[in-house]
A and B are shown apart, each in its own frame.
Chain A
């Protein structure tokens, strides 16, 4: 699975790579704070000033290893992390009336240099008693867990139902943030650490039971399920494509053009990614329809600003009630205005003329598989874990990523996977 030139042209890097001189200048702006707030803000606690100092000294290998020792997915995180609310948001430069250090781009610079030099990561001290661990799902949480275990000499197998590993990094991140080949490069790097990744192997309840019996520990990095349906008439019409499907389709170049008018329902980060994608794939108008107002939108502020720059329209306080069809195809979206308490305002119906409707109101949670294992608490709609270890109610089963946090960022999944790996390693050598 490689990038399509057409898609690469339409989705150039939002934050382009630094040249080495740009990186040196930016790295030299870093104050090298003691006990740095950027490090505390990073879910994987990358020692940010340390890796930046190494860029300014020209020790790029040391810089990359500093990053990878904290976060094995340092390459993809450098591109997909919402740095504005994480490391860069915590930068003391904000209080200095200055631009924060561009930590994400510096991290990418170090990681690109590392991969260009052959991606040779030194091994860690090997565990005295290696164990066999299965990771279910090959998204960021599992890959992080698997890599951390493999670096310590454990025997790890990752099971993935899709034909390519990487999870949302491969299939679901906007191309201008992370290109699919970049995600697959990271997957290959993790394979190179000794992790066996078995793609196209969907796991059912019976198979999971068998795995649990066969392996010493199991990590559930299941992620979330498909996008939730809207639950309104007309969802079966041709031209209704959910946001994750739209993103996966254009990333694999199965979709390179969308119709002229696109309505996206929901105002989270994925909705924004889908709306921006629609604009770049030829839409004349992409409109985000949201029940509440901008103040309540779940998307990050910088994502909202980005969407406005891309020309996306917003239709606030509006609730879709019906997708209108013509000859089996989408022709419009009937909506009604709602009050702040979501009560509909009588007589406020209106129709948004559109040729495509993109539901983006969140992903479903399929917990049946996890619940089939003994001792796992899914009563809150997520897998319950001990946050410090990732351990579920079953002492040999660990979990992390979206299925435990409800859907956050790649870096949160990476942190979950790492904590679980360290706990598994510790338990094995206790």
Chain B
């Protein structure tokens, strides 16, 4: 039995899967159904002064028929009265004492306002607080959300105010819409934050209706930039999480957010040092039931790897990220094509010639003359061979191959093109070593 439980900056949860603050964590009914489905915690839809939302609110990016590779929203914080949310938080905590309920907060930049809402949430029974310094749309125009998160001094100041009043752990949720996320993460830490969450959504315009010329989502003929999330943003989120968790002297827990759709994503965030992961888009796409495989898949992977707890592998990938200048210039790989697996699509050939280094060749057998083709008649004509003709199996010129991976990436067949390390007997030599030697 694998132990997936977490103690995240003092907040206990049966597993690391939390609903992120957003539409799936809008009310008690949703949060309780999510807990029934297996979610370990939920960060409540951001509380603050009630707002009015627009219609419509979401738009998405589809890729080759796959829906919602990326999701964009212009929905604001909760539009329900604060007292209703507080009453429901209390109700949920009473019924689900073992699950984590974190109140996400966003109020105007006044010390008293922050002190008040902190007290109200903690009185309601929230296990922790998450300061929403990240939302890039709407609220930022009113000086809140990412307007705070983009200025390290504001972030530190408000975090300090919150810590003056808070008895529960305080998480600061960071915006990716900034040039160096470490500056804000450090400011949050300096203000006394117990942890950070990253990332919030990324500024976006997802697309434009080519009939009306109105970008989506359409609100009466206009749109406004929104916050982008979903599978498409995961690489950006991983990078920013690594920058924070890998920052020299960093010691706070990180709750990873951004495109987590399954257990593999979760494992990756934990490998980069995260204590929990937060999920929104995948739950919006498929419902709360997706958490079952997140838990099951992660536990099975941990079993296969011999990990008993999340701590056993947390951060293992952090030391494997380094600066480019330290990479070994003498490490050499080349592409190898398994001709028994090759289906003859020639995508690697096209990619290598047009997008890489012109070292894949179609010369293993003479190409058939571009002659006249006729419909074969079973009785009269020989059947076509079913194996890939040698003329369609590409050859890699290993002297020209720079080991860039492109062919292996475009090949549709699993393990048909693999990158093989060439033992060249050369010692490790990096750009840093080379330039030092010449200095």
A28-B65, A31-B412 known; A45 vs B344 contact (CB < 8 Å) = no
A408 to B370, CA, bound (A): 20
Query: Do B375 and A95 touch (CB < 8 A)?
Result: no
Interface check B388, CB cutoff 8 A: yes
A33-B345, A34-B346 known; A85 vs B376 contact (CB < 8 Å) = yes
Interface check B327, CB cutoff 8 A: no
Query: Do A95 and B373 touch (CB < 8 A)?
Result: no
Segment of B198-206, B217-225, B378-386 in the binding face: B378-386
Select A301's contact among B378, B387, B392, beta carbons within 8 Å.
B378
* Nearest A residue to B210, CB-CB: A58
A174 to B350, CA, bound (A): 41
Instruction: Kindly list chain B residues whose C-beta atoms are within 8 Å of the C-beta of A43.
Output: 372-375
Interface check B343, CB cutoff 8 A: yes
Instruction: Kindly list chain A residues whose C-beta atoms are within 8 Å of the C-beta of B65.
Output: 24-25, 28
Select B64's contact among A28, A405, A409, beta carbons within 8 Å.
A28
**8 Å CB interface, B404-439 against A:** 412-413
Instruction: Kindly list chain A residues whose C-beta atoms are within 8 Å of the C-beta of B387.
Output: 95
Interface check A62, CB cutoff 8 A: no
Interface check B349, CB cutoff 8 A: yes
Query: Do A41 and B373 touch (CB < 8 A)?
Result: yes
Interface check B69, CB cutoff 8 A: no
Query: Do A33 and B347 touch (CB < 8 A)?
Result: yes
Query: Do B386 and A95 touch (CB < 8 A)?
Result: yes
Query: Do B64 and A411 touch (CB < 8 A)?
Result: no
**8 Å CB interface, A118-132 against B:** none
Query: Do B384 and A96 touch (CB < 8 A)?
Result: no
Segment of A153-161, A211-219, A291-299 in the binding face: A291-299
* Nearest B residue to A96, CB-CB: B343
A94-B386, A95-B386, A96-B413 known; A298 vs B346 contact (CB < 8 Å) = no
Query: Do A95 and B343 touch (CB < 8 A)?
Result: yes
Closest approach, in angstroms, between the C-beta of A60 and any C-beta of chain B? 14
Interface check B248, CB cutoff 8 A: no
Closest approach, in angstroms, between the C-beta of A25 and any C-beta of chain B? 5
* Nearest A residue to B348, CB-CB: A34
Select B372's contact among A299, A301, A388, beta carbons within 8 Å.
A388
Instruction: Kindly list chain A residues whose C-beta atoms are within 8 Å of the C-beta of B392.
Output: 37
Interface check A42, CB cutoff 8 A: yes
Interface check B52, CB cutoff 8 A: no
Instruction: Kindly list chain A residues whose C-beta atoms are within 8 Å of the C-beta of B350.
Output: 34
Query: Do B372 and A409 touch (CB < 8 A)?
Result: no
**Total number of residue pairs linking A and B with CB closer than 8 Å:** 75
A44 to B39, CA, bound (A): 58
Query: Do A298 and B378 touch (CB < 8 A)?
Result: yes
A55 to B408, CA, bound (A): 27
Interface check A164, CB cutoff 8 A: no
Interface check A89, CB cutoff 8 A: yes
Closest approach, in angstroms, between the C-beta of A48 and any C-beta of chain B? 13
Query: Do A415 and B344 touch (CB < 8 A)?
Result: no
Instruction: Kindly list chain B residues whose C-beta atoms are within 8 Å of the C-beta of A419.
Output: 372
Interface check A92, CB cutoff 8 A: yes
B-contact bits for A385-404, CB 8 A (1 contact / 0 none): 00110000000000000000
Query: Do B375 and A408 touch (CB < 8 A)?
Result: yes
A25 to B64, CA, bound (A): 7
Query: Do A298 and B347 touch (CB < 8 A)?
Result: no
Interface check B377, CB cutoff 8 A: yes
A387 to B65, CA, bound (A): 43
**8 Å CB interface, B354-404 against A:** 362, 368, 370, 372-379, 384, 386-388, 392
Query: Do A411 and B375 touch (CB < 8 A)?
Result: yes
Interface check A300, CB cutoff 8 A: yes
Instruction: Kindly list chain A residues whose C-beta atoms are within 8 Å of the C-beta of B370.
Output: 40
Query: Do A85 and B345 touch (CB < 8 A)?
Result: no
Instruction: Kindly list chain A residues whose C-beta atoms are within 8 Å of the C-beta of B347.
Output: 31-34
**8 Å CB interface, B310-364 against A:** 343-347, 349-350, 362
Closest approach, in angstroms, between the C-beta of B386 and any C-beta of chain A? 7
A34-B346, A34-B350, A37-B344 known; A95 vs B388 contact (CB < 8 Å) = yes
A89 to B375, CA, bound (A): 11
A297 to B378, CA, bound (A): 8
Instruction: Kindly list chain B residues whose C-beta atoms are within 8 Å of the C-beta of A273.
Output: none
Instruction: Kindly list chain A residues whose C-beta atoms are within 8 Å of the C-beta of B349.
Output: 34
Query: Do A95 and B372 touch (CB < 8 A)?
Result: no
Interface check A180, CB cutoff 8 A: no
Instruction: Kindly list chain A residues whose C-beta atoms are within 8 Å of the C-beta of B373.
Output: 40-43, 45, 415
B-contact bits for A361-396, CB 8 A (1 contact / 0 none): 000000000000000000000000001100000000
* Nearest B residue to A35, CB-CB: B346
Q: Which of A24, A34, A96 has the most CB of B within 10 A?
A: A34
Closest approach, in angstroms, between the C-beta of B414 and any C-beta of chain A? 10
Interface check A412, CB cutoff 8 A: yes
B-contact bits for A74-87, CB 8 A (1 contact / 0 none): 00000000100110
Instruction: Kindly list chain B residues whose C-beta atoms are within 8 Å of the C-beta of A411.
Output: 375
A89 to B383, CA, bound (A): 11
Closest approach, in angstroms, between the C-beta of A363 and any C-beta of chain B? 14
Select B375's contact among A32, A37, A85, beta carbons within 8 Å.
A85
Closest approach, in angstroms, between the C-beta of B348 and any C-beta of chain A? 9
Question: Other CB < 8 Å A-B pairs besides A95-B387, A95-B388, 10 of them?
Answer: A24-B65, A25-B65, A33-B347, A37-B392, A43-B374, A45-B373, A56-B64, A299-B378, A301-B378, A415-B374
18 CB < 8 A contacts A-B? A25-B65, A31-B412, A33-B346, A33-B347, A34-B346, A37-B392, A40-B370, A42-B373, A43-B372, A45-B373, A56-B64, A85-B375, A90-B384, A95-B387, A96-B412, A296-B379, A408-B374, A412-B374
3 smallest CB-CB distances across A and B, nearest first, come from A34-B346, A34-B350, A95-B343
Binding site for B on A (CB under 8 A): 24-25, 28, 31-35, 37, 40-43, 45, 56, 82, 85-86, 89-90, 92-96, 296-301, 387-388, 405, 408-409, 411-412, 415, 419
